[in-house]
Amino acid sequence: MDRRQFLKTSSALLAFGSLPKIVLAKPSDGFDYELVVAPADVRIAPHGNTPAWCFNGHFPAPVIRAKQHQPVRIRVVNKLTEPTTIHWHGLRIPIAMDGVPFLSQRPIMPGETFDYEFTPPDAGTFWYHPHMNSVEQLGKGLVGALIVDEAVDPGFDADVVMGLKNWHIRDDGSFTALTTPRNAFRMGTPGRLMTVNGKTAPTYYVPTGGAIRARLVNIDNTVTYDISGQGAELTIVSIDGNPIARPRPLEQHLMGPGMRLDVGFIAPHQAGQTITIYHKHDVLVTFKTVGADKQRQQLPSLPLNPIPSPDLDNAEVIKFAFEWDASINPIEKNGEVNYRFWTINRKAWEGMSAGDIPAPLAKLKRGKSYIFELANLTQYHHPIHLHGHTFTVLASNKQTIEPFHSDTVLLGQNEIARIAFVADNPGRWMYHCHVIEHLKTGLMGYIEVA
């Protein structure tokens, strides 16, 4: 299958029933996708438009579909009045494509274009977002799903991609505050309108008796979704982009900002039945069966991603403490007042410019295995994310863990978790909390692999 056929098939899959209209980016020559980053008025709220910032003028953003082990080329055009970069969350790709200003590339200035090209080694559910002025750029809508299809199609009958975001908007569409200092030093500022693909509790049609893959992507700045469901036997097949070795029933699953969850199910064998996914007691999304019975009995299985196994016996242990430091006063830099509420190993991120890159939190030797012991010494939870590597979550002092692969681990209050990985990707890799107001107020740093 060549790329064009491939794009066609995957968008046809997505367009099944009344799934959201997929906006396929019109690529310029030689590119698979073109993402134009610009302000756009979009209709999310019941009574008026929202002056959002969008990819290609729409929300939801185009779902980028790449194929495992095949290069994808994405041209980004910045039509904002401020610099930006795009980061591909969860992809193990070379540092030059990681999309972090100064650490891996020059910011894309207004009017400029930057070409990203990479070959995803892992298949699964990922996402993309800017890595500059993140509270505002992500908060106003620059968040999209990136799906890497398996080298061999696992054979689901429908594949539904759902971006979860609580918009900071009023019923008339106008924005409320994306951040307040008061919330930034607590759990972050939640938006008041909970949406899936920009809609409130949408209904998607799925084939009766079909094998369904429902991909949830937490593209929100703040909210940890507490996922459960009913109406079919729901199975967790993949966490944070990586299939799990032993799929298990979805009972309840916490998804912090940046995290993903693929739920598989066989739709009821009768048309007109509903399956519901909840955040706590609120309906996030409903699926309704339609059409003739596909008569599927079993979920297709997903191949595991080729994540290198860390050598735990010889791994070096590095400890990281995530702490709250309300005694830190706001600092003024370049006329901007910034609060520093959070620290990693007693250091708060002070920002970065071309000539002023802070020291790494740790220096790792390329090819060596590491165990990070992550201690959340605060009463708030933090989804801790590492760029460029996929780690194995080994253990926690608060819950029984069946080891699994991830790029973002959610630490509950006073939770200590151990993660391990092979530092096989050379570069300077961001390492931060994905509650955007937390990274903005100190909970960010980077590690260096050389």
Residues in contact with ligand C2O by the rule CB under 6 A: 87, 89, 129, 131, 258, 385, 387, 430, 432, 434
Residue 57-96 contact track with Cu ion, rule CB under 5 A, x = bound: --------------------------------x-------
Let me know: does 440 contact 180? Beta carbons within 8 Å.
no
Closer to ligand C2O by CB, 212 or 410: give it. 410
DSSP 47: T
Residue 131 interacts with, from ligand C2O, Cu ion, none (CB under 5-8 Å by kind): ligand C2O
Residue 213 interacts with, from ligand C2O, Cu ion, none (CB under 5-8 Å by kind): none
Q: Looking at 61, 142, 364, 433, which residue binds Cu ion (CB under 5 A)?
A: 433
Q: Which residues contact 165 (CB under 8 A, 6 or more apart)?
A: 143, 191, 195, 198, 219, 220
CA distance 284 to 281: 9
Residue 435 interacts with, from Cu ion, ligand C2O, none (CB under 5-8 Å by kind): Cu ion
Let me know: does 445 contact 385? Beta carbons within 8 Å.
no
Residue 288 interacts with, from Cu ion, ligand C2O, none (CB under 5-8 Å by kind): none
Residue 433 interacts with, from ligand C2O, Cu ion, none (CB under 5-8 Å by kind): Cu ion
What CA–CA distances, in Å, run from 288 to 15, 17, 232? 15, 10, 11
- With binding defined as CB under 5 A, does residue 131 bind Cu ion? no
Residue 148 beta carbon to ligand C2O: minimum distance, rounded to whole angstroms: 15
**Strand order across the beta sheet in which 158-167 lies:** 193-196, 158-167, 211-218, 260-266, 235-239, 242-249
Closer to ligand C2O by CB, 75 or 87: give it. 87
Residue 430 beta carbon to ligand C2O: minimum distance, rounded to whole angstroms: 5
Q: Which residues contact 89 (CB under 8 A, 6 or more apart)?
A: 126, 127, 128, 129, 146, 258, 385, 407
- Burial letters 121-145, b for 16+ CB under 10 A, else e: ebbbbbbbbbbbbbbbbbbbbbbbb
Residue 384 interacts with, from Cu ion, ligand C2O, none (CB under 5-8 Å by kind): none
Identify which range of 64-72, 189-197, 355-363, 432-440 contacts Cu ion by CB under 5 A: 432-440
Preceding amide of 358 cis, omega within 30: no
Residue 67 interacts with, from Cu ion, ligand C2O, none (CB under 5-8 Å by kind): none
Residue 60 beta carbon to ligand C2O: minimum distance, rounded to whole angstroms: 17
Q: How many residues of this chain interact with Cu ion, rule: CB under 5 A? A: 7
Residue 207 beta carbon to ligand C2O: minimum distance, rounded to whole angstroms: 33
Q: Which of 142, 123, 126 has the alpha carbon at shortest distance from 220?
A: 142
Closer to ligand C2O by CB, 202 or 258: give it. 258
The structure tokens listed for 223 are 């909210």
Residue 382 interacts with, from Cu ion, ligand C2O, none (CB under 5-8 Å by kind): Cu ion
Q: Looking at 92, 165, 382, 432, which residue binds Cu ion (CB under 5 A)?
A: 382
Q: Looking at 44, 417, 435, 447, which residue binds Cu ion (CB under 5 A)?
A: 435
Closer to ligand C2O by CB, 132 or 266: give it. 132
The DSSP code sequence of 203-244 is EEEEETT-EEEEEEEE--SSPPEEEEEESS--EEEEETTEEE
CA distance 52 to 55: 10
> In the block, which residue shows the tokens 């982009």?
241
